[in-house]
Structure 1
Amino acid sequence: MSPSPNRRADARRSRAAVLDAAVRVLDAEPDAGLAAIAAAAGLTRQTVYAHFPSREHLLLAVVDRLTEETVEAMDAADPDTGPAADALLRLLDAGARTSRRHHPVLLRRIGELPAGPRDDAERHAPIADRIGRVVVRGRETGEFDDRLPVGWLVAAAIALAHTAYGEQDAGRLTESGARDALRVAVLRLLGAAGDPDGRPSRPR
């Protein structure tokens, strides 16, 4: 027999409570165990283990939760309006601001999780799709060069964002310096030019 609707709803609520608690606890103490997360969620360890049989399983679910946060922030950045270059920079900035709300050690722990290239690509597909749509729009309007594959440009833009804000975290760039470096690098990557005020213009 399948679980009743009430039991399924209770299971969804308890799973959501565990994930909410995991993000809070792991942001404060990235190496916290499942017992601490269970206590923060107001649930027993057995309940947590019923949803996540190991800390690794829980961390993978946290990755999905953080991805959802990033996607929501990107959608709120209104990527379908204005020049494509401006929209792309808004997307990258929204993604960076979302990730920077979380403890860098937690993000590093997540990055160390064993995952094949296909799993990692599927997990981050919603983010890549949004960036890719803006890149395609910019190519169609002539703002961006169209000689390089869209997927490669998306991956390179994301890597540039990680690099820029990584330099900020390391103290080698200020917040404004990281944002300016990212703007210049991304516009050059896409074959777009910017005027002295930072407004993108069509490539020549």
Structure 2
Amino acid sequence: MSVSPRRRADAERSRAAVLDAAIELLGERPDAGMAAVANAAGVTRQTVYAHFPSRDDLLTAVVDRMTERVAEAMDAARPDEGPAPAALLRVLDAAWRASLEHPALLRLAARPAPPEEDRTRHAPIADRIARVLQRGRADGDFDPSPALSWQVAAVIALSHATGEEIRAGRLSAADAVAALHSGLLRLLVRERPAR
């Protein structure tokens, strides 16, 4: 017996409400439990568990939704416009702004995951970075000699290192992002022959 479209739509709205409430609540109180999420969403605990059988499942869904928001922000930053180096920095800045809307959730996103899960989680972000890097390589702005996959991994790793410096209080956000910008450009920009 199939589920009616109305019941399916109600279930999707309920799931979205739980997820939105979890993002807001866990952004303020990362240790909040399932009962607190249910209360914040205005649903029963059973409803939360129907969508997310465990707190780990809920946390995974929260991180996935945050990744979607970051990807949307990156798309809105016009990655296909202007010189690739400027576009890359613009896209990464948009990603940072989206990430910093819920700074406590950055710890969730940084939690260790099996390599395949981590690759899958980063795929939307990596794809957007790769697109800008490919354009820059084709235009001669970025060095084409390292593998593209290595360059993408380097951008992501340096971005994570930037976040860690900010979270640890070793650098202000402005100083850390400035260091990220200059470091990436030194790493990626093709050296021009001296004239």
Note if contact 1:34-1:45 (Cα within 8 Å) is conserved in structure 2.
Answer: yes
Distance 1:73 1:41 in 2: 25
Amino acid at match of 1:181: A
Distance 2:78 2:38 in 1: 37
Alignment of 1:1-204 (within 5 A): 1-104=1-104, 106-112=105-111, 115-192=113-190, 203-204=192-193
Aligned to 1:200: none
Question: Where does the alignment leave 5 or more consecutive residues of structure 1 unmatched?
Answer: 194-202
Distance 1:176 1:192 in 2: 26
Deviations 1:154-203 (A, max 9, x none): 1111111222233233333233322221111101111346xxxxxxxxx3
Structure with the higher helix share, 1 or 2: 2
Q: TM-score scaled to structure 1, two decimals?
A: 0.89
Distance 1:110 1:182 in 2: 19
* 1:116 CA displacement: 2.1
Distance 1:93 1:162 in 2: 13
Distance 1:108 1:165 in 2: 10
Note if contact 2:71-2:124 (Cα within 8 Å) is conserved in structure 1.
Answer: yes
Note if contact 2:140-2:190 (Cα within 8 Å) is conserved in structure 1.
Answer: no
Question: Where does the alignment leave 5 or more consecutive residues of structure 2 unmatched?
Answer: none
Deviations 1:75-121 (A, max 9, x none): 111000001000111111111221122233x33244335x3211221
Note if contact 1:30-1:103 (Cα within 8 Å) is conserved in structure 2.
Answer: no
Moved over 6 A (4+): none
Q: CA RMSD in A?
A: 1.5
Q: TM-score scaled to structure 2, two decimals?
A: 0.93
Q: Which secondary structure state, in structure 2, belongs to the residue aligned with residue 124 of structure 1?
A: helix
Q: Which secondary structure state, in structure 2, belongs to the residue aligned with residue 80 of structure 1?
A: coil
Note if contact 1:92-1:158 (Cα within 8 Å) is conserved in structure 2.
Answer: no
For this pair of structures, how many residues does the alignment match? 193
Amino acid at match of 1:121: R
Amino acid at match of 2:66: L
Assess, with a 3 A threshold, how the Cα gap between structure 1 residues 142 and 110 changes in structure 2: closer, same or farther: closer
* 1:69 CA displacement: 0.4
State the percentage of identical aligned residues.
Answer: 60
